[in-house]
């Protein structure tokens, strides 16, 4: 009989390939949580006694946190709120924030921005605590290795950040298989210990968790701040949805990540029930002696992968913030000609490395870092819940009573975790909180500063209709002049300055505006709009999504379909270079925002580099702007 493969087979193969990739990228962070979570739960609030009721109570809290936060909230609910297939808090913000004139718009915008800012705090701590906790396994093998843990951690982290400029394509192919082996090891070692003490499975009963919370409310509240470590990385499910799709991420969760994590946590609990002294490091003491060193190596690889996922997430959210106008233009390098998502941002990379190394040197142990972990994660989780509920009501049309009940349930859970982590502020929780507030101030200052600058430039400029009705009678020289503008209805100041100094215009003058839409991507067919304004004058609007990087020469080639062709060697791009001077009185911004905005402006990448305009075709015209 001839072999006729069924049509769905290629789709199934692709689905499983995507699921394998999701195992490595999406679940790298949450997959390394067993290294430290259970140990930190017993150390919370000054220490929890190792009794059967406490062990089963904490395990029950971990189990139900994973089930409710990751499985029900993210996998089942939040992942429905996709912005044309893309996820993440900025994509959700662009999807749900009310437009001008709708009540609550500014509040929701500020809330979403603060959630994005908190992600940077998470991005600092995840590589530090993950790699440090993995290498601390050497101390379990022999106390003599204690002196090398810190230097080795620094070396691994420095190497990880150094290779970022080369891209992750080649290494990324190994992420899925390595993490799959990691999850298999987690499940195997945990499952083997459960067989020795199956009574630990009683913790599946939520009453154990409830009794633990009721027995000592204050201490149990401290423990909740450590229980949340079991679900860190849950936000990655949503953020990476655009890379893999909803179905492969769900398949990877139910088929690999969740079973392995639960088996390992319950295995650690069974070990502690049998030997309370194992609490010193239940993860590595769960591993047989013959497998300890291989497991340390595998754990280090897994934490590097988890760190890579967070670093890539920082690059991604930074690019989105730049495109949406919340951060200055930054140099963005593409490390792959095929995958547009693989980018490298030098400023973000080296700034993040400096912060990570400072945390490692300052806190020195994973237990100390655990105190700083959680606030950023739980803050972002709570804000995501609010925005997703807005999507459910406004975009999906869910009934208000249903959204209200769901909101009460989600926010009770999220705010409980957040409140418990706020208790960690004196012990180190202030670090991600400070980073979040700093990034929030940077993003809001840049957005306000750009809006104030645009308003001032518009006030000083000439209406385009007035200019075209009475064009200046000057010499028209051969060639094309492209004037970059942010306002389609006014004459670019660069053109007025050119007229003032050169007393000439090109035969063909193009006003070019680049617009970033509140969608991830704009199709090439919708990229460009050409309008003929007057004799030799044109207006072109280029539209991009916030996941896309503008490439003006490439986009202008599309204008041929509109009867307008560009020869780059006969085209000059005129770009204004504004030097901001604060007004002596009544400045547009408070003094501290004005000074911050001026600093950020100096660090902003040149427009020509950001828009990929050939430098030998650019004319920059500077002017002072009193703001």
User: Quick one: tokens of 118?
Assistant: 């908190």
Residue 554 Cα distances to 532, 611, 622, angstroms: 21, 10, 26
Reported pTM: 0.82
Q: How does pLDDT run across 508-536, given as a tens digit for each residue? A: 999 999 988 878 888 888 889 898 888 88
Q: What confidence score (pLDDT) does residue 103 get?
A: 47
Q: Of 345, 352, 274, which Cα lies nearest the Cα of 310?
A: 352
CA distance 216 to 54: 11
What is the number of other CB atoms lying within 10 angstroms of the CB of residue 314?
20
Per the rule left: phi > 0, alpha: psi between -120 and 50, beta: everything else, 245 is left
pLDDT greater than 90 at residue 119: no
Interior CA angle at 529 toward 488 and 338, to 5°? 115
Q: How does pLDDT run across 389-407, given as a tens digit for each residue? A: 988 888 888 999 999 999 9
Would you give the distance in Å from CA 535 to the centre of its chain? 47
Residue 514, strand partner residues: 542
Q: What confidence score (pLDDT) does residue 370 get?
A: 80
pLDDT band at 335 (very low <50, low <70, confident <90, very high): low
More confident site: 52 or 91: 52
For CATH 1.20.1740.10, the residue range(s) in the chain are 16-428
Q: Determine the average pLDDT of the residues in 151-156.
A: 92
Q: Is the separation of the CB atoms in 284 and 36 below 8 Å?
A: no
Q: Determine the average pLDDT of the residues in 580-592.
A: 77
Q: Determine the average pLDDT of the residues in 470-482.
A: 86
Q: What confidence score (pLDDT) does residue 264 get?
A: 97
Interior CA angle at 198 toward 194 and 200, to 5°? 85
Q: What confidence score (pLDDT) does residue 7 get?
A: 40
Residue 16: strand, helix, or coil: helix
Q: What confidence score (pLDDT) does residue 196 get?
A: 92
pLDDT greater than 60 at residue 170: no
Q: How does pLDDT run across 58-72, given as a tens digit for each residue? A: 999 999 999 999 999
Residue 570 Cα distances to 465, 537, 621, angstroms: 27, 16, 19
Q: What confidence score (pLDDT) does residue 610 get?
A: 83
Q: What confidence score (pLDDT) does residue 411 get?
A: 92
Q: What confidence score (pLDDT) does residue 272 get?
A: 95
% of residues, the chain, pLDDT over 70: 93
Largest Cα–Cα distance in the chain?
Answer: 93
Q: Determine the average pLDDT of the residues in 106-115.
A: 83
pLDDT band at 4 (very low <50, low <70, confident <90, very high): very low
Range picked from 161-165, 230-234, 264-268 for highest mean pLDDT: 264-268
User: Quick one: tokens of 413?
Assistant: 């859970």
Q: Which residues contact 615 (CB under 8 A, 6 or more apart)?
A: 608, 609
Q: Determine the average pLDDT of the residues in 484-499.
A: 84
What is the number of other CB atoms lying within 10 angstroms of the CB of residue 103?
8
Least confident of 87-96, 170-179, 206-215, 326-335: 170-179
Full DSSP string of 449-494: HHHHHHHHHHHHSPBHHHHHHS----EEEEEEEEEE-S-TTB--HH
pLDDT greater than 60 at residue 560: yes
pLDDT greater than 60 at residue 473: yes
What is the number of other CB atoms lying within 10 angstroms of the CB of residue 69?
23
Q: What confidence score (pLDDT) does residue 341 get?
A: 55
Mean pLDDT computed over every residue of the chain:
85
Q: Tell me the CATH class for 16-428.
A: mainly alpha
First to last CA, the chain: 80
Q: What confidence score (pLDDT) does residue 275 get?
A: 93
CA distance 396 to 261: 33
More confident site: 458 or 150: 150
Q: What confidence score (pLDDT) does residue 3 get?
A: 44
Full DSSP string of 495-545: HHHHHHHH-EEEEEEEEEEEEE-SSS---GGGSEEEEEEETTEEEEEEEE-
Least confident of 138-142, 236-240, 482-486, 621-625: 621-625
């Amino acid at each position: 009989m001839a072999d006729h493969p069924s049509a769905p087979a290629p789709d199934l193969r692709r689905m499983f390939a995507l699921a394998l990739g999701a195992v490595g990228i999406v679940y790298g962070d949450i997959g390394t949580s067993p290294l430290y979570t259970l140990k930190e739960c017993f150390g919370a609030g000054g220490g929890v006694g190792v009794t059967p009721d406490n062990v089963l109570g904490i395990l029950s809290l971990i189990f139900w946190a994973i089930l409710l936060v990751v499985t029900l909230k993210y996998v089942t609910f939040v992942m429905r709120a996709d912005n044309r297939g893309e996820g993440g808090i900025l994509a959700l913000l662009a999807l749900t924030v009310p437009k001008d004139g709708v009540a609550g718009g500014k509040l929701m915008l500020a809330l979403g921005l603060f959630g994005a800012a908190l992600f940077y705090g998470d991005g600092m701590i995840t590589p530090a605590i993950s790699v440090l906790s993995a290498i601390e396994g050497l101390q379990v093998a022999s106390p003599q290795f204690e002196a090398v843990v810190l230097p080795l951690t620094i070396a691994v982290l420095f190497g990880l950040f150094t290779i970022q400029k080369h891209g992750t394509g080649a290494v990324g192919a190994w992420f899925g298989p390595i993490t799959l082996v990691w999850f298999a090891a987690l499940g195997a070692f945990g499952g083997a210990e459960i067989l020795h003490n199956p009574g630990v499975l009683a913790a599946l009963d939520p009453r154990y968790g409830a009794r633990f919370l009721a027995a000592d409310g204050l201490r149990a509240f401290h423990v909740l701040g450590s229980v949340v470590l079991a679900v860190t990385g849950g936000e990655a499910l949503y953020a990476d949805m655009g890379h893999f799709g909803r179905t492969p991420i769900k398949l990877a969760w139910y088929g690999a990540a969740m079973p392995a994590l639960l088996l390992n946590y319950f295995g650690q609990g069974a070990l502690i029930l049998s030997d309370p002294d194992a609490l010193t490091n239940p993860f590595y003491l769960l591993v047989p002696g013959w497998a300890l060193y291989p497991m340390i190596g595998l754990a280090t690889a897994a934490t590097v992968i988890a760190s890579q996922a967070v670093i890539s997430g920082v690059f991604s959210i930074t690019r989105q913030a730049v495109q949406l106008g919340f951060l200055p233009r930054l140099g963005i390098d593409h490390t792959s000609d095929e995958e547009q998502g693989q980018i490298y941002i030098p400023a973000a990379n080296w700034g993040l490395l400096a912060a990570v190394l400072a945390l490692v040197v300052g806190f020195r142990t994973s237990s100390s870092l655990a105190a700083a972990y959680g606030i950023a994660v739980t803050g972002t989780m709570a804000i995501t819940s609010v925005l997703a509920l807005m999507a459910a009501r406004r975009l999906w049309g869910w009934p208000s009573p249903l959204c209200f009940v769901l909101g009460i349930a989600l926010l009770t859970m999220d705010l409980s975790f957040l409140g418990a982590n706020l208790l960690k502020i004196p012990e180190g929780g202030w670090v991600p909180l400070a980073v979040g507030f700093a990034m929030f101030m940077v993003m809001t200052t840049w957005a306000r500063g750009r809006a104030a600058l645009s308003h001032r430039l518009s006030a000083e400029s000439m209406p385009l209709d007035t200019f075209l009705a009475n064009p200046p009678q000057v010499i028209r020289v051969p060639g094309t002049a492209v004037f970059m503008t942010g306002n389609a209805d006014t004459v670019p100041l660069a053109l007025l300055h050119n007229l003032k100094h050169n007393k000439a215009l090109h035969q063909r003058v193009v006003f070019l505006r680049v617009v970033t839409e509140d969608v991830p991507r704009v199709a090439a067919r919708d990229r460009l709009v050409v309008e003929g304004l007057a004799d030799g004058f044109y207006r072109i609007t280029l539209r991009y999504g916030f996941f896309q990087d503008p490439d003006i020469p490439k986009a202008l080639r599309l204008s041929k379909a509109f009867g307008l062709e560009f020869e780059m060697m006969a085209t000059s791009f005129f770009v204004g270079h504004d030097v901001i001077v604060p007004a002596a009185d009544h400045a547009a911004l408070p003094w501290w925002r004005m000074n911050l905005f001026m600093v950020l402006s100096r660090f902003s990448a040149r427009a020509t580099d950001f828009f990929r305009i050939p430098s030998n075709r650019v004319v920059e015209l500077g002017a002072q702007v009193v703001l």
